[in-house]
Amino acid sequence: MDTLTGKKIGFIGGGRMGEGIFSGILKAGLIPPEDLYVADIVDQRLQELQEKYGLNPINSSTNEGIKQLIDQVDVVFLAVLPQVAPKLLPFINQCLDLERHYVFSIMGGVLTSTLEETLTQVSLVRIMPNTPMSVCAGCAGIVPGKNCKPEHKAMALEIFNQIGLGLLLPEPQIDPLTGISGCGPAFCGIMIQALADGGVYLGLSRADAIKIAAQTLVGTGKMVLEQGIHPEILKDNVCSPGGGTIGGTVSLERDGFRAACINAVINAVDRMNEVVK
Ligand SMILES: NC(=O)C1=CN([C@@H]2O[C@H](COP(=O)(O)OP(=O)(O)OC[C@H]3O[C@@H](n4cnc5c(N)ncnc54)[C@H](O)[C@@H]3O)[C@@H](O)[C@H]2O)C=CC1
Ligand SMILES: O=C(O)[C@@H]1CCC=N1
């Protein structure tokens, strides 16, 4: 990875998604931990992250901490909740050097045009990541802002393709991507636990049942991605005539599994957009 060589990366917000991304970046060896800076308002969290990753922690309870972070880095990730953005963005804008800095925002539901109302001249990219970035198996939608320099768009694609799948998409398609991949790890977690419940009911240990369910989701996803098998054909290939899988499939259909998944994606997006209204 050449584009990140010598670059310093800063995260404003060291929460679950920020950690998901920077742990993936460190795992992929894109930068050493001494070039990673994380600002948060919770000291205990910063200490935890510093002990785990050897990164540079900065307390940003006051604006001084934000300035200190920006002064140290080239790339500024905005990894706070969208509700925090209106208070933070004007100060961040004052601290940025337009020649040196660029901003990658991962805030759910916050459009590039909304960011640009405050960060008027800044080269910025909106990214919708997901937590599997922490194991370099994430999925990210990527939207360059109107002032984004080509090298920053290329860098976003390069980083996110190293820690998962990075997809350049028109902005209106970020909402549906968020419903599937941004929120999806929660839905998949529920599915793994529910499948495991079935296994436990039938006598497996909880630990074995979870391992078996998780590996089944991973393997099935790999077949779709690597072999290009349509999910419906994949399903047909497992259903032996008169066999067990068709019995389970009939039961899923009767219990509204498909509708439940479709509605989860749609409701997640509706809810997220209510928050940023
Ligand atoms: N969790 C997920 O799976 C995903 C989250 N996102 C987006 O990522 C962003 C962060 O989400 P999470 O990490 O889940 O939230 P989180 O609540 O785990 O983390 C947010 C962090 O920001 C810190 N913070 C609050 N004010 C701050 C300030 N002034 N300066 C520095 N840090 C401050 C909080 O202490 C906290 O550690 C959100 O905008 C969310 O929409 C996007 C995709 C997936
Ligand atoms: O729940 C949320 O709003 C964020 C955005 C996508 C995943 N987590």
Question: 65-90, pLDDT tens digit by residue?
Answer: 999 999 999 999 999 999 999 999 99
pLDDT confidence of 5, banded at 50, 70, 90?
confident
182-276: which CATH number, 1.10.3730.10, 3.65.10.10, 2.60.120.380, 1.20.120.450?
1.10.3730.10
Among the residue ranges 2-11, 80-89, 107-116, 205-214, the one predicted with the least confidence is 2-11
Q: CA 157 to CA 161: how far, in whole Å? A: 6
> Is residue 202 predicted with pLDDT exceeding 90?
yes
Domain 9-170 and domain 182-276 have a common topology: no
Mutate to test the pocket of ligand 1, among 48, 58, 60, 80 (most ligand atoms within 8 A of CB): 80
Find all residues with CB under 8 Å of 241, minimum gap 6, and list them.
none
Q: What is the percent of the chain with per-residue pLDDT over 90, rounded to a whole number? A: 96
Per residue in 207-241, pLDDT (tens digit) is 999 999 999 999 999 999 999 999 999 999 999 99
Measured from the CB, is residue 108 less than 6 Å from ligand 2?
yes
What spacing in Å lies between the alpha carbon of 132 and ligand 2's midpoint?
Answer: 13
> Is residue 276 predicted with pLDDT exceeding 80?
no
Mutate to test the pocket of ligand 2, among 17, 139, 277 (most ligand atoms within 8 A of CB): 17
Q: What is the pLDDT at residue 2?
A: 61
Measured from the CB, is residue 184 less than 6 Å from ligand 2?
no
| CA-based end-to-end distance of the chain | 38
Question: What 3 state SS string does 91-135 have?
Answer: HHHHHCCCCCCEEEECCCCCCHHHHHHHCCCCCEEEEECCHHHHH
Tokens of 198: 């079935």
Q: Which residue lies with its CA nearest to atom 8 of ligand 2?
A: 183
The letter for the amino acid at 44 is Q
* CATH (residue range 9-170): 3.40.50.720
pLDDT confidence of 21, banded at 50, 70, 90?
very high
Q: What is the pLDDT at residue 73?
A: 98
Per residue in 171-196, pLDDT (tens digit) is 999 999 999 999 999 999 999 999 99
Q: CA 129 to CA 178: how far, in whole Å? A: 8
What spacing in Å lies between the alpha carbon of 47 and ligand 1's midpoint?
Answer: 17
Q: What is the pTM of this model?
A: 0.95
pLDDT confidence of 120, banded at 50, 70, 90?
very high
What spacing in Å lies between the alpha carbon of 183 and ligand 2's midpoint?
Answer: 6
Q: CA 207 to CA 117: how far, in whole Å? A: 49
Mutate to test the pocket of ligand 2, among 272, 274, 276, 277 (most ligand atoms within 8 A of CB): 272
Q: Do residues 103 and 126 touch, judged by C-beta distance below 8 A?
A: no
What spacing in Å lies between the alpha carbon of 251 and ligand 2's midpoint?
Answer: 30
Return the closest-CA partner of residue 141 out of 113, 172, 120: 172
Per residue in 155-177, pLDDT (tens digit) is 999 999 999 999 999 999 999 99
Q: What is the pLDDT at residue 3?
A: 72
Residue 187 burial (CB count, 10 A): 16
Q: CA 273 to CA 212: how far, in whole Å? A: 35
Q: Which residue lies with its CA nearest to atom 15 of ligand 1?
A: 15
Domain ranges of the chain: 9-170, 182-276
Mutate to test the pocket of ligand 1, among 40, 104, 105 (most ligand atoms within 8 A of CB): 40
Q: Which atom of ligand 2 is nearest to the CA of 186?
A: 7
Find all residues with CB under 8 Å of 66, minimum gap 6, and list them.
12, 39, 60, 88, 91, 92, 95
Average pLDDT in the chain = 96
What spacing in Å lies between the alpha carbon of 182 and ligand 2's midpoint?
Answer: 6
